[in-house]
Chain A
Amino acid sequence: AQSVTQLGSHVSVSEGALVLLRCNYSSSVPPYLFWYVQYPNQGLQLLLKYTSAATLVKGINGFEAEFKKSETSFHLTKPSAHMSDAAEYFCAVSDRGNYQLIWGAGTKLIIKP
């Protein structure tokens, strides 16, 4: 069965520093991959998704993620963290032909002034 692992339940970075949130999936067949963000007291919203076009995917708010098949990874990055990026980030995957999303446990991003 498909699974998703997000390394680190909490990641802390200084404002202006690089943000790297890790996501690994278990499928041997390239799936659809997503990153969602949850700001405090809000629902989740889509940051970006990979659906087999370019392996480097650009999303909203300056975030991007790179699909690496050999590493079964889809890590999320942002060159320079902003205080407004403080939120919880979820990686999710769905198998092609399967209609359900499998979710990672989430990573809370903390931004230090």
Chain B
Amino acid sequence: EAQVTQNPRYLITVTGKKLTVTCSQNMNHEYMSWYRQDPGLGLRQIYYSMNVEVTDKGDVPEGYKVSRKEKRNFPLILESPSPNQTSLYFCASSFFAGGDGELFFGEGSRLTVL
């Protein structure tokens, strides 16, 4: 089954404790992206990747890191989480880097930072 898989789905952590949210897709997509969703703000892009070893900042990259060592994986790293990073996070992928291509989303990872 074609899918984007994120883990963990739910996480409660404390300020400053490094964490990684994994994202994997099995569709051989070149483009991958991370978003955060907050009430009333829609989706805001954190980082995106056009292909392996190519990553770029989105609209809200502060406090986050990413890597794209393999085509299928695009982990999101929070080196020192803070409460303002409490949010719902989505990973998405596409054959094309946006344009008219459909984005496929994971089911989301709800992060709470205390």
Bound-state CA distance A48–B98 (Å) is 15
Pair B42/A104 contact, Cβ less than 8 Å: yes
> Knowing A32-B99, A43-B4 touch, does A90 contact B42 (C-beta < 8 A)?
yes
The residue that B107 contacts in the complex, of A43, A46, A96, A104, with Cβ under 8 A, is A43
State A69–B1 Cα separation when bound (angstroms).
Answer: 38
For A90, give the chain B residue with the smallest CB separation: B42
B-contact bits for A70-108, CB 8 A (1 contact / 0 none):
000000000000000000001000101111110111100
A96 to B45, CA, bound (A): 18
Say yes or no: B106 contacts A43, CB within 8 Å.
yes
- Chain B residue with the shortest CB-CB distance to A44: B105
Judge if B46 is at the interface, Cβ distance under 8 Å.
Answer: no
| Interface of B, helix, strand, loop or mixed by DSSP | loop
In the complex, what distance in Å separates the CA atom of A9 from the CA atom of B42? Answer: 10
Q: In whole Å, how far is A18's beta carbon from the nearest beta carbon of chain B?
A: 24
CB contacts (< 8 Å) of A96 on chain B: these are: 99
Closest approach, in angstroms, between the C-beta of A21 and any C-beta of chain B? 14
Interface residue range, chain A: 20 to 34
B30 to chain A minimum Cβ distance, whole angstroms, is 11
Would you give the 0/1 interface string for A33-76, flagging 1 where the beta carbon is closer than 8 Å to chain B? 00010000111111001010000000000000000000000000
How far is A9 from B40 in the complex, measured between Cα atoms in Å? Answer: 7
Q: What 0/1 pattern do residues 24 to 59 of B give for CB contact below 8 A with A?
A: 000000010000000011111100101000000010
Distance to closest chain B CB from A92 (angstroms): 8
Q: Does B75 contact A (CB under 8 A)?
A: no
Shortest distance from the beta carbon of B40 to any chain A beta carbon, whole Å: 6
Pairs A–B under 8 Å by Cβ, sample size 17 = A32-B99, A36-B103, A41-B108, A42-B107, A42-B108, A43-B90, A43-B106, A44-B92, A45-B105, A49-B102, A94-B98, A98-B99, A99-B31, A99-B50, A100-B45, A103-B44, A106-B42
Question: What 13 additional pairs, Cβ within 8 angstroms, besides A94-B99, A98-B99?
Answer: A32-B100, A43-B92, A44-B43, A45-B105, A49-B102, A97-B99, A98-B98, A99-B50, A99-B98, A100-B48, A100-B98, A103-B43, A105-B42
